[in-house]
Amino acid sequence: MRNTSRREFLALLGATGATLLAGKASGETRELRPINDTELGMLYDATRCVGCKACMAACKRVNRDSGGLSYESAPFDKDKLWDAPTDLSGSTRTLIKLYKSPEKRWSYVKYSCMHCQEPSCVSVCPVSAMTKDKVTGIVEYDKNKCIGCRYCQIACAFNIPRFQWERKAPQIVKCDLCSSTNLKGKGITACAEVCPAGAITFGKRGDLLKDAHDRIIANPGRYVSYIYGEQELGGTNHLYLAGVPFDNLGLPNLPNKAPAEFSEHIQHTIYKGFIAPVALYGYLCVRALWNRKKAESAGIQEEEE
Amino acid sequence: MAEHSNEFVRVHGKIFTKPFFVLLALSLVGVFLIIVRFARGIGAVTNLSDGYPWGIWIAYDVATGTAIACGGYAIAILVYIRNRWKYHPLIRSAILTSLFGYCLAGFSVVVDVGRPWNAYGFFTPSRWQPNSAMFEVALCIMAYCVVQIIEFLPSVLCVLEHGKMKRLQKVFYYFRPQHTTRDEAMVETALEWVHSAVAWFHPKFNNLLIFIVVLGLVLPTMHQSSLGSLMLIAPTKLHPLWHTGFLPLLFLINCMYMGYSIVILESIISSFILKREYEVKELSGLAHIIPWLATAWLAVRLGDLIHRGQVAAIFRGDFYSLFFLAEFLLLAVGSLLLFNRELWTSPRWLFITAVMMLLGGGLYRFNVYLIGFNPGRGWHYFPSLAEAMITVGIIAIEILGYQVLIKLLPVLPNQHLHRNIAPAQPHKLPCVAVRG
């Protein structure tokens, strides 16, 4: 009796495992999803950037009220004269940093949301507070839906979504390409509009890519021959050109496959049509009822060896 | 009440003991800090950052806490599916701890999330997001809390059916100091009415309870595996020693052996503290299941590491490999010890091995959620004192509630019955959780 039960138990465990495994096995054979080049994005050319931070100021000026952004003063700035964020934060959607290489080559770098083709944050948000617009491809955040679980922060490989840790009613803060502000009114993002050096180009992803390739071809000595964001995590709509290796600029080395494809596939295989949970419930109900009947008629002592 | 319930008994003893006040103090500190958190924001009490948005509240209270609370799940599988009714006496205390574990995990989440007032979105179909493992975990855990409350109802019904409710009567008379005999008669009739209503309801309820019990098996299967799925999305942040497509399966098996281990641990500790006889016979039965589950788990774990070519990472000797080895050795040695039959009858060894399995299994979950998680250069996390005290407070509330409830309700197994007359006919018992 004991052995039979153990075998059945292990069989059940095995069946559950097999379902979970099926998800993994078929997850690896799938091909990369096609990239939509008509989505909106930005091309940031680090070799053109002069580090004036006009983009940062414009971003905060335009999105301040709608995005819950506030000014961040530096510790030495007792009179609070400057907005001096040290990193992307719950008050800062975009940021310019400076990288100094040992060979005295300097490069600025601008951080903001990469607007992935296959965004992890959208995939993991349990209440659809992060959404990706089907036409523009903009990844937007809705504070009226967000529960503040911060799973999007865990999921984002670029560490872009930021949380307002110090607030009672905190929001997630990230670039939305000015979708409810500057883009609506003027058809261009605030940062791209104000950039005096032409370092930020706003447009459709396909056009930006073509532009980027042309620049590399025209000036091969100026650039690292690589467009960051073209392939990373299934492609991003925010693209980078730079004169120094991207890893030095804080842009991580990432695989070309979107993590969401992997995780969603496993999740969907397990819960396909909700069949597996219902079947498990049905099977266990039958087992439990049968066991109860047996126990009622025979008494429990016979069940134990 | 004990005389009415054959299988389960209320523990007779004072409620307001010294440990009670210690736990109460810890709980109050926790509650105070939770108020601070809501008044001044999450940043005011925690060391959480944008790189480490999840700290011990998630890694311990939710990911590990719910696994420790899988005792009810593990015992229910044993009783209702593997048809081992001799473990039925363990089920109520297991369900009670599970109930506490899960409800408090849910409560921790409310403390942890930034905008809990938007949580109604989980019940708004237009916001549902089935791609998210978190969506599934949240719904399942909420449903499981309800299921467990229903599963625990029989012990409350028992008291309602047979109890005189002296305390309640006292409170009633306290507010009416000059009560007449008419009042007393009224109370008596009300009591009669409650007794007969419950007596009518209880057997019907027991008949249907099995469908809820089975739901209580499916839900943990779903959300425990999904707790593993939660980290699938972070292949670039979670160390390859832990990030694998097998996370859901590993989390599922992990919660089972942790569930059996916590039942052993809890039984031994409460027997020790309450000076009851050790339930060695039942516990040794549980102890022999654990190593099989753990071996299956270790096999999947190793097989996966070999398959992904990560074996070298085990022996690299860095921070991650040390934590991997700690987790692995605790589980491997614990289950190796448990393959030895002689140890099953020793409460001391049962205790030691159960602790090893719990530490190893818990460390695995910590590794996945926190220790093996690296968001990139420049990010660090170690819980702040306030953050840790909130977790301690929540654990204190859990133990406190358990301690009080076993003295108010028939939860623990009746030892006289099981030592002398066992095994009994379940259908003759008025107060079994589910009829046999």
pLDDT in tens, B296-324: 999 999 999 999 999 999 999 899 999 99
Contact list in A for residue B288 (CB cut-off 8 A) is none
Is B128 in contact with A128 (Cβ distance < 8 A)? Answer: yes
Domain identity same for A177 and A284? no
Rounded to 5 degrees, φ, ψ at A98 are -120, 130
Q: Which of A27-36, A57-66, A242-251, B281-290 has the lowest mean pLDDT?
A: A27-36
Say how far apart CA A246 and CA A249 lie, in whole Å: 5
CA–CA separation, B211 and B146 (whole Å): 13
Tell me how far apart the alpha carbons of residues A226 and A241 are, in angstroms, rounded to a whole number.
Answer: 7
Torsion of CA A15, A20, A24, A25, to 10 degrees: 10
Task: Tell whether A82 and A54 lie within a shared domain.
Answer: yes
Tell me, what's the pLDDT at A2? 43
Q: Does the beta-carbon distance from B119 to A147 stay under 8 Å?
A: yes
Closest residue by Cα to residue B251 from B366, B371, B147: B366
Q: Which DSSP category does B421 fall into?
A: I
Predicted local distance difference test score (pLDDT) of residue A292: 86
Asked whether residue A251 falls in the same domain as residue A116, the answer is yes
pLDDT at residue B170 in the model:
79
Bridge-based pairing state of the strands A200-204 and A40-45: antiparallel
Question: Could you tell me how many residues make up chain A?
Answer: 305
Kindly give the pairing relationship between strand A238-241 and strand A40-45: parallel
* 8 Å CB contact between A83 and A68: no
Contact B118 A145 (CB under 8 A): yes
Mean pLDDT, rounded, for B79-88: 86
Containing structural domain, residue A14: 2-32+263-303
Whether residue A280 is found in the same domain as residue A226:
no
Q: Which of helix, strand or coil describes residue A100? A: strand
Instruction: Report which of A100, A58, A38 is spatially closest to residue A200, judged by C-alpha positions.
Output: A58
Substitution target in A151, A248, A275 with the highest count of B β-carbons within 10 Å is: A151
pLDDT at residue number B427: 41
Statement to judge: residues A173 and A299 lie in one domain: no
| pLDDT surpassing 70 at residue A19 | no
Residues A218 and A78 in one domain: yes
Q: Which residue of B has its CA nearest to A129?
A: B127
Contact A160, A173 (CB under 8 A): no
Q: B421: pLDDT confidence band, cut at 50, 70 and 90? A: very low
Of A24, A145, A288, nearest to B213 by CB-CB distance is A288
This model's pTM is above 0.90 = no
Q: Helix axis angle, A2-29 relative to B181-229, nearest 10°?
A: 50
Contact list, A148 vs chain B (CB under 8 Å): 113-116, 118
Tell me which residue in B83, B229, B249 faces A5 most closely, judged by beta carbons: B83
Among A258, A275, A294, the domain-final residue is A258
CA A203 to each of CA A55, A188, B39: distance values in angstroms, whole numbers, following the listed order: 16, 8, 43
Using H for helix, E for strand and C for coil, what is the string for B22-37? HHHHHHHHHHHHHHHH
Which residues, in sequence order, are CB contacts of B373 under 8 Å at separation 6+? A154, B52, B231, B234, B237, B238, B239
Helix (H, G, I), strand (E, B) or coil at B113: coil
Q: Which of A258, A273, A293 is the last residue of a domain?
A: A258
| Crossing angle of the two packed helices B319-338 and B347-366, in degrees rounded to 10 | 150
**Res A305 pLDDT > 80:** no
A15 and A96 housed in the same domain: no
d(CA B325, CA A38): 49
Number of domains in chain A: 2
* Residue A198 and residue A279 in one domain: no
Q: Which residues of B touch A303 (CB under 8 A)?
A: 83-86
Residues comprising chain B, all counted: 436
- Position with higher pLDDT, A67 vs B428: A67
From B382, B368, B270, select the one nearest B320 (Cα to Cα).
B368
Q: Considering only CB atoms, which chain B residues are within 8 Å of A24?
A: 245-246
User: pLDDT band for position A27 (50/70/90)?
Assistant: very low
The predicted complex's ipTM stands at 0.87
DSSP B246: T
CB pairs under 8 A between A and B: 250
Residue B116 confidence class, pLDDT cut points 50, 70, 90 = very high
pLDDT for the residue B160:
83
How many helices (DSSP H) and strands (DSSP E) are in chain B? Answer: 16, 2
Q: Tell me the pLDDT tens digit for each residue of A115-158.
A: 999 999 999 999 999 999 999 999 999 999 999 999 999 999 99
Q: Is the pLDDT of residue A74 over 90?
A: no
Q: Are A236 and A117 in contact (CB under 8 A)?
A: yes
Q: Which residues of chain B are within 8 Å of residue A296 when distances are taken between CB atoms? A: 426-427, 435-436
| Percent of chain A at pLDDT exceeding 90 | 67
Mean pLDDT for the stretch of residues B182-204: 86
Which of A2, A114, A147 has the most B C-beta neighbours within 10 Å, making it the best mutation to test the interface with B? A147
Give residue-wise pLDDT tens across range B135-164: 999 999 999 999 999 999 988 888 888 777
Same domain, A214 and A110: yes
A83 and A185 share one domain: yes
Work out the angle at residue A107's Cα, subtended by the Cα atoms of residues A101 and A113, and round it to the nearest 5 degrees. Answer: 120
CA nearest neighbour of A93 among A74, A112, A71: A112
The residue with greater pLDDT, A302 or A191, is A191
Q: What's the rounded Cα separation, in Å, for the pair B359 and B67?
A: 12
- B134 and A264 Cβ atoms separated by less than 8 Å: no
Of B90, B158, B86, the residue nearest B424 (C-alpha): B86
Give every CB contact of residue B16 below 8 A, 6+ residues apart in sequence: none
Q: Select from B35, B40, B115 the residue whose CB has the most chain A CBs within 10 Å, as the one to mutate to test that interface.
A: B115
Q: Are residues A166 and A283 in the same domain?
A: no
Cα–Cα distance, A271 to B241 (Å, whole number): 26
In this predicted structure, what is the pLDDT of residue A144?
A: 95
Q: In whole angstroms, give the CA distance from residue A80 to residue A75.
A: 9
To the nearest whole Å, the CA of A118 is away from the closest chain B CA by 12
Residue with tokens 């076993």: B406
Give A-chain residues touching B229 at CB under 8 angstroms: 263, 266-267, 270
Please report, as a single letter, which amino acid is at residue A84: A
β-pair partners for A300: none
Residues A160 and A271 both lie in one domain: no
In chain B, residues with a C-beta closer than 8 Å to the C-beta of A145 are 118, 121, 127
Q: B128 to chain A: which residues are within 8 Å by CB?
A: 127-128
A278/chain B closest Cα distance in angstroms: 9
The CA distance from A154 to the nearest CA of chain B, in Å, is 7
Q: Is the preceding omega at residue B53 within 30 degrees of 0, hence cis?
A: no
pLDDT digits (tens, 9 = 90+) for B343-380: 888 899 999 999 999 999 999 999 999 999 999 988 99
Pairwise CA distance, residues B409 & B154, whole Å:
10
CATH number at residue A254: 3.30.70.20
